[in-house]
């Protein structure tokens, strides 16, 4: 079983418009509303791959109910903790040939009692599962070291934790006592962590990944978009090469590759196969219009075209 955590989910609304007219009424007849947030993308992709997953985190208000209903309709297991505040909307206006204007609500403020209630649910689900994914930003009211606190809660269990976040909450988790098993920064996130630029030929990645900040993290997968990934697993480095594909929408590809890592780790696959799973799902997501969605019928065809140099 894989547990996927989304602390700051959203209902993602997209408004496709030919032209966005500022300071006037814009009418839209093709509204799309989906359960959003990085962890929910991870959940959906694992479910589409027909692997066991349960989604948890914090939900409140009518939009929280919408997300629960949406997951149930898709047949996805979920057990979220209730909050007083309202789950947020994130709005993307797609306009003028490929432009995207976003309005992102900051979301509810979480109380200490609400976090305690969540932790009971989290521990019950997580301590008996093989893999936990922690994805995305933390809502207001949640301490910046909260992912570190969740890692401490799991420190007595065998559960492997994949942490996919950025900024201070990632730094806190890496400097805490109990490290995540795996992280998946992209090159911008890695750059922000270490304060050094990833070179265009990627030759400085081995040095960057041996930075003391990563001590104790078994698996670091630096995803490189169309260039695949560079990975440190235990004391070895891997360059994962992927074929060129026709890309429709790469948003959510990082989350889909986290889903692949989680599946590989839950199945206890060899590291090379786990990395191929991660790349394949990232690519399959990029080949779809919908964020956090893959066409599983194309899995083998992509998987067989990925090569790894150790």
Are residues 35 and 113 in contact, defined by beta-carbon separation less than 8 angstroms? no
Spatial separation of the C-alpha atoms in residues 221 and 299, rounded to whole Å: 20
Spatial separation of the C-alpha atoms in residues 170 and 165, rounded to whole Å: 6
Q: Assign residue 83 a region (left: φ > 0; alpha: ψ between -120 and 50; beta: otherwise).
A: beta
Task: Select from 1, 13, 91, 247 the one that contacts ligand ADP (CB under 6 A).
Answer: 247
Helix axis angle for 187-194 and 167-175, nearest 10°, is 60
Are residues 89 and 13 in contact, defined by beta-carbon separation less than 8 angstroms? yes
Q: Report in angstroms how near the CB of residue 170 gets to ligand ADP at its nearest.
A: 12
Of 61 and 250, the one with the shorter C-beta distance to ligand ADP is: 250
Q: Report in angstroms how near the CB of residue 253 gets to ligand ADP at its nearest.
A: 3
| Residue 186 sits in the site that holds ligand ADP (CB under 6 A) | yes
φ, ψ for residue 4 (rounded to 5)?
-115, 125
Instruction: Give the helix/strand (H/E) hosting 299.
Output: helix 299-303
| Residue 274 sits in the site that holds ligand ADP (CB under 6 A) | no
Q: Which of residues 202-241 bind ligand ADP (CB under 6 A)?
A: 223-226, 228-229
Of 28 and 308, the one with the shorter C-beta distance to ligand ADP is: 308
| Residue 264 sits in the site that holds ligand ADP (CB under 6 A) | no
Spatial separation of the C-alpha atoms in residues 299 and 280, rounded to whole Å: 7
| Residue 283 sits in the site that holds ligand ADP (CB under 6 A) | yes
| Residue 190 sits in the site that holds ligand ADP (CB under 6 A) | no
Of 154 and 190, the one with the shorter C-beta distance to ligand ADP is: 190
Of 77 and 290, the one with the shorter C-beta distance to ligand ADP is: 290
| Residue 248 sits in the site that holds ligand ADP (CB under 6 A) | no
Instruction: Classify each residue of 104-130 as buried b or exposed e, where b means 16 or more C-beta atoms within 10 Å of its C-beta.
Output: eeebbebeeebbeebbebbeebbeebb
Of 145 and 288, the one with the shorter C-beta distance to ligand ADP is: 288
| Residue 308 sits in the site that holds ligand ADP (CB under 6 A) | no
Tell me which residues touch ligand ADP (CB under 6 A): 186, 223-226, 228-229, 242, 245, 247, 250, 253-254, 257, 279, 282-283, 286
């Amino acid at each position: 079983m894989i547990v996927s955590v989304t602390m700051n989910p959203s209902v993602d609304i997209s408004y496709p418009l030919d032209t966005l007219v500022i300071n006037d009424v814009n009418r839209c007849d093709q509204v799309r509303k989906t359960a959003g947030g990085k962890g929910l993308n991870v959940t959906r992709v694992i479910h589409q791959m027909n692997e066991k997953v349960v989604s948890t985190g914090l939900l409140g208000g009518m939009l929280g109910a919408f997300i629960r209903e949406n997951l149930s309709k898709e047949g996805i297991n979920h057990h979220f903790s209730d909050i007083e505040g309202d789950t947020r909307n994130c709005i993307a206006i797609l306009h003028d040939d490929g432009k995207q204007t976003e309005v992102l609500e900051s979301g509810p403020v979480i109380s200490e009692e609400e976090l305690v209630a969540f932790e009971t649910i989290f521990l019950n689900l997580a301590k008996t599962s093989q893999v936990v994914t922690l994805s995305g930003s933390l809502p207001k009211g949640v301490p910046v070291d909260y992912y570190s606190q969740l890692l401490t809660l799991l420190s007595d269990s065998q559960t492997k934790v994949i942490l996919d976040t950025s900024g201070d909450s990632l730094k806190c988790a890496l400097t805490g006592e109990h490290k995540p098993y795996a992280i998946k920064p992209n090159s911008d996130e890695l750059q922000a962590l270490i304060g050094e630029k990833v070179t265009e030929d990627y030759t400085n990645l081995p040095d960057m990944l041996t930075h003391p900040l990563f001590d104790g993290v078994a698996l670091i997968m630096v995803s490189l978009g169309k260039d695949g990934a560079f990975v440190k697993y235990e004391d070895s480095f891997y360059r994962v090469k992927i074929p060129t594909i026709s890309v429709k929408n790469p948003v959510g590809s990082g989350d889909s590759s986290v889903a692949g890592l989680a599946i590989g780790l839950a199945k206890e696959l060899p590291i090379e196969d786990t990395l191929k799973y991660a790349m394949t799902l990232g690519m399959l997501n990029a080949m779809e219009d919908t964020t956090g969605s893959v066409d599983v019928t194309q899995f083998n065809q992509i998987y067989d075209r990925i090569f790894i140099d150790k």
